[in-house]
Chain A
Amino acid sequence: MVVVTVAFVIIRLIPGDPVRNALGIMASQDVVDARREALGLNLPLWEQYLRFWQGLLSGNLGDSFSLQMPVTEVIGQRLPATIELAVLSLIVMLAFAIPLGMAAAALTRGGRRRGLELGYTSVSGFIAVIPEFLIGVGLIYVFAVQFQLLPVAGRSGPDSYILPVLALSIGGIAGVSRIVRAEALSVLDQDYIRTARAKRMSSWRLYMRHALPNLLTSSLTIGGLVLGGLIAGTVLVETIFSWPGLGMTIVSSIKDKDFPLAQGIIMVYGFLVLLVTLVVDILLVMLDPRSALKEN
């Protein structure tokens, strides 16, 4: 609801005449007027808003100026590539960040191995600062320019996924593993870990069975937050790797002043972020019976 309204308002906030803007100064007044009429921009604002909702509910977001095709169709074509990229990156990120964070916590807990701790925190801190598109540039340089191992552009075979997914996930691995480590350190300090140690089990069992489940809820919450950022990060990474997803499309639509398309994609992004938040909340309730109790 909010997302839709914001997307609607944005287009109306653009200074000047968006149609004139889009068509350029060279377009004749007749053409501009005809386009305004077609877009319903001459109607009163409340009617525009109603129509916008109507269109949205019937799956019609208007036509793209530049591509001359329905916005929904463009989104339908491009969305899967973006989702693929974001989900793969999230999986890779969590798959590496959680074990890494736990290992770091296990090795440095109680102030042992100060050197390792300092090295880990400074290296991961440094990597977490680097934005994903610069990591992308670095990856291209190393794997495509220097060694020519992997393709740099487009979406084709499985190997074309490697660099974009890495570019998106490396920063997250560093950042999330730091948080996991902090969480793990506090979990390992808990009394129930002492109880588990009193049962004299292997370290593996101690960490995997007794510590990990208590980390999952907080890791998942962070994962949800990160996924929102990941979706945004895809915009930059898609541009670098010429990935045919929504990100590339919205960038070009903003540059070309293709407002219906930009508006549609912004809405899709907004919904994605909301959806992720919702899914994470549901998962949290399923994983942790206590949070369900709180909801009641």
Chain B
Amino acid sequence: MSTLPVPAGPGQSQVQRFAAVLRTPLGIATVAGVLVVAFVAAFGPALWSAQAAATDFSQLSAQPSPAHPFGTDAGGRDVMARVLTAAQLSVGMALVATALGVVGGVIIGFLPIILPRRIARFVVSATGIAIAFPALLLMMMFSIVVGTGVQGAVLAIGFAMMPAFGRLAQTMSSSISGRDFVLAARVLGVSRFRILARHILPNVAEPLTVNASLAAGGSLIAFSGLSFLGLGVQAPDFDWGRLLNEGLSKIYINPATALAPAGAVIFVGVVFTLLGETLSRGFGIEPLLGKRPRPLPRTAPGGQEVADDVDDATVLRVRGLRVAAPARSGWTHPVNNVSFEIRRGEIVGLVGESGSGKSLTCLAVAALLEHPLDVSADSVNFDGSELTQNGKVPGRIRSAALRTMLGTRLALVFQDPSTSLNPALRVGSQVAEIGRLHEGLSTKAAQARAIDRLAEVRINNPARRAKQYPHEFSGGMRQRAMIAMGLMGSPALIIADEPTTALDVTVQRGVLGQLKAVNREKNAAILLVSHDIAVVTGLCTRVLVMYRGSIVEDVDVNDLVAGRAKHPYTRALVDAVPTMTAEKGEPFTTIPEGTIFPTALVEETV
């Protein structure tokens, strides 16, 4: 379901993209934050170091005052000046360590490309082990070796970052080095180093930049942590971590001595995170946020008032059904003003090309379409109950009685049996659930009935099968289990949305036969969605033809087979079915792309 990131084209569009990102609130906040941090880090010591060193013995650990906005520390020095002065060391160290980590990581990451295979494999697995370790532990290990102090801390954090960047560079470079243009370069005899420098490095640069920016925030925090523990910067130097360490012991006297450096760390950490986010949007790694769709203009109800009386022989009557979907500009109507009805015990086919709105129509009448889709109708009457409320079909039915009615009387079989059963629950309990929910059965009784229903759809050894998980079932068995699920109640209508498309042809027959059997034995009507005319003509008595969101023809199956369909689209569909009588070598009939047919319903002429 995930959409692949679309890489922005080079040159102009990239610049434009960045310009667009910088105009968003995120971009503005980032630029402002980066400027503040850069300014303070660059000029902080020059501007405030004198003030930070000045001790005022009359004001030891003083509360905040106009002269000292954050008060003074135990030595009578101004806390704000000290925090601002410390910015240079804190941010500087973080950047140096990040640079170290990125460079070292990239070298580690690219080694496998250059080195012989066996050593390469060793490097990869060593990185894997190192990455499993929390960075802080790595840092502490390194700081045992290199000792405490600024240099030690920079080295420790830089080294501790290398495995992560090494892994990043490894995965990215290995995915790129498998691509066609690198393979082509290799075939042409370009050396490994040249491939690395010319083809791989430019392609990994963008994600690396983004991650480096995020890591810089992380390393700033790591430095504060180390210094706070007393393992980083040592007196008389000070960074935020050491200020925090000093401040914490004075938190009862002047909380600002601890809170000010803490705030500074958080501020810079957030700025680095924002920077990373902005960069990744700018590079097109992450999509720009879409705009909120405008509210749907209220369409006038489809027209005529619908008479309330539905005759008893009708199981489903739909009038003026529309499905609206938000799009880039305004709303589209993938299902537009659809009306049809299904009589009890009837098998009706619903055919049409992909995207013609068949599945949406099914889900809409089953009251299963949810936000952001909007379903409106003049009337959807199922089994004598009206499902619309104020002209809408809600995605969640609130009335308990209606829910029980839908749960037991309407069964659904979906296209892909491998995804429509819950992989984490046993098949038996999934089949049994309807009985527990709507028929007041005990767990045991429901389970017994579920086993019974599984047997009914001809699943061998149902008691054992009920205890299994869906992944232990074959595709055809899963679809049978879905039908069994529908049989837990007493279905008046089964909506089968392309029930056999995902199955192979031999299994297909069995599943269709099962549906037919249910129809015969339980007098359940079936709405069979398919784009396979052959399947529909074999099973149904009547066919609805859908095209671009509308039902264009409602035709008896005998008329369809006899070639008496009226709508040009229906005829085109029928003509496109390959037959055994076709001349050898003759091209198959197709509907030329771009052909547009009228979408009005052809009227019966009888």
Binding site for B on A (CB under 8 A): 2, 6, 10-11, 13-15, 110-112, 114, 125-126, 129-131, 133-134, 137-138, 140-141, 145, 186, 189-192, 194-201, 203, 205, 209-210, 213-214, 216, 228-229, 231-233, 235-236, 239-240, 250-251, 254-255, 259, 262-263, 266, 269-270, 273-274, 277, 288-290, 293
B134 touches A199 (CB 8 A): no
B104 to chain A, nearest CB (A): 17
Interface CB pairs A-B, < 8 A, 18: A2-B129, A10-B144, A11-B144, A14-B145, A129-B270, A137-B244, A191-B414, A194-B420, A195-B420, A209-B425, A210-B425, A213-B425, A229-B136, A231-B137, A232-B136, A239-B229, A254-B144, A262-B144
Interface residue from A138, A192, A274, A277 paired with B423 (Cβ < 8 Å): A192
Closest to B241 in A: A133
Which residue of A129, A198, A233 has the most chain B CB atoms within 10 A of its CB atom? A198
B266 contact set on A, CB distance < 8 A: 129-130, 134
B414 contact set on A, CB distance < 8 A: 191, 194-195
B129 touches A138 (CB 8 A): no
B248 contact set on A, CB distance < 8 A: 137, 140, 240
A198 contact set on B, CB distance < 8 A: 366, 368, 407, 410, 412
B251 touches A137 (CB 8 A): yes
Bound-state CA distance A89–B145 (Å) is: 31
B410 contact set on A, CB distance < 8 A: 198
Bound-state CA distance A13–B147 (Å) is: 11
A273 touches B134 (CB 8 A): yes
A191 contact set on B, CB distance < 8 A: 414, 416, 419-420
Bound-state CA distance A130–B268 (Å) is: 11
Bound-state CA distance A137–B255 (Å) is: 10
A214 touching B259 in the complex, CB below 8 Å, given contacts A13-B145, A254-B140, A270-B137:
no
A195 touches B225 (CB 8 A): no
A195 touches B136 (CB 8 A): no
A263 contact set on B, CB distance < 8 A: 144
Interface residue from B265, B437, B469, B482 paired with A195 (Cβ < 8 Å): B482
Residue B230 lies at the interface, judged by CB distance under 8 Å to chain A: yes
Residue B606 lies at the interface, judged by CB distance under 8 Å to chain A: no
B374 to chain A, nearest CB (A): 12
Residue B471 lies at the interface, judged by CB distance under 8 Å to chain A: yes
Residue B499 lies at the interface, judged by CB distance under 8 Å to chain A: no
A130 touching B259 in the complex, CB below 8 Å, given contacts A10-B144, A191-B416, A198-B412:
no
A289 contact set on B, CB distance < 8 A: 469, 471
Bound-state CA distance A7–B248 (Å) is: 32
A10 contact set on B, CB distance < 8 A: 141, 144-145
Closest to A259 in B: B144
Bound-state CA distance A201–B430 (Å) is: 12
Which residue of B225, B229, B368 has the most chain A CB atoms within 10 A of its CB atom? B229
Known: A141-B255, A141-B258, A232-B136. 5 other contacts (CB 8 A): A14-B144, A199-B434, A235-B140, A251-B230, A273-B134
B368 contact set on A, CB distance < 8 A: 194, 197-198
Which residue of A130, A131, A138, A189 has the most chain B CB atoms within 10 A of its CB atom? A131
A129 touches B217 (CB 8 A): yes
Closest to A148 in B: B252
Interface residue from B136, B252, B438 paired with A145 (Cβ < 8 Å): B252
B419 contact set on A, CB distance < 8 A: 190-192
A213 contact set on B, CB distance < 8 A: 422, 424-425
Bound-state CA distance A200–B482 (Å) is: 15
List B residues 351-371 near A (Cβ within 8 Å): 363, 366, 368, 370-371
B422 touches A214 (CB 8 A): yes
B259 touches A236 (CB 8 A): no
B372 touches A114 (CB 8 A): no
Bound-state CA distance A293–B470 (Å) is: 13
B438 touches A200 (CB 8 A): yes
B1 touches A186 (CB 8 A): yes
Closest to B253 in A: A145
A266 touching B423 in the complex, CB below 8 Å, given contacts A131-B221, A273-B132:
no
Bound-state CA distance A273–B229 (Å) is: 21
Bound-state CA distance A236–B438 (Å) is: 54
A200 contact set on B, CB distance < 8 A: 397, 403-404, 406-407, 437-438
List B residues 410-455 near A (Cβ within 8 Å): 410, 412, 414, 416, 419-425, 430, 433-434, 437-438
List B residues 258-301 near A (Cβ within 8 Å): 258-259, 262, 265-266, 269-270, 273, 292
- A-B CB proximity, top 7 nearest: A232-B134, A213-B424, A232-B136, A200-B403, A191-B419, A200-B407, A192-B422
B404 contact set on A, CB distance < 8 A: 200
B132 contact set on A, CB distance < 8 A: 228, 273-274, 277
Bound-state CA distance A235–B226 (Å) is: 10
A3 to chain B, nearest CB (A): 9
B118 to chain A, nearest CB (A): 18
List B residues 184-225 near A (Cβ within 8 Å): 217, 221, 224-225
A131 touches B224 (CB 8 A): yes
Closest to B408 in A: A200
B416 contact set on A, CB distance < 8 A: 191
Which residue of A130, A134, A205, A229 has the most chain B CB atoms within 10 A of its CB atom? A134
Residue B148 lies at the interface, judged by CB distance under 8 Å to chain A: yes
A141 touches B259 (CB 8 A): yes
A13 contact set on B, CB distance < 8 A: 145
Residue B162 lies at the interface, judged by CB distance under 8 Å to chain A: no
Residue B133 lies at the interface, judged by CB distance under 8 Å to chain A: yes
B424 touches A131 (CB 8 A): no
A116 to chain B, nearest CB (A): 13
Bound-state CA distance A203–B403 (Å) is: 12
Residue B231 lies at the interface, judged by CB distance under 8 Å to chain A: yes
A201 contact set on B, CB distance < 8 A: 433, 437
Which residue of A138, A231, A235 has the most chain B CB atoms within 10 A of its CB atom? A235
A137 contact set on B, CB distance < 8 A: 244, 248, 251, 258-259, 262
A251 to chain B, nearest CB (A): 5
A262 contact set on B, CB distance < 8 A: 144
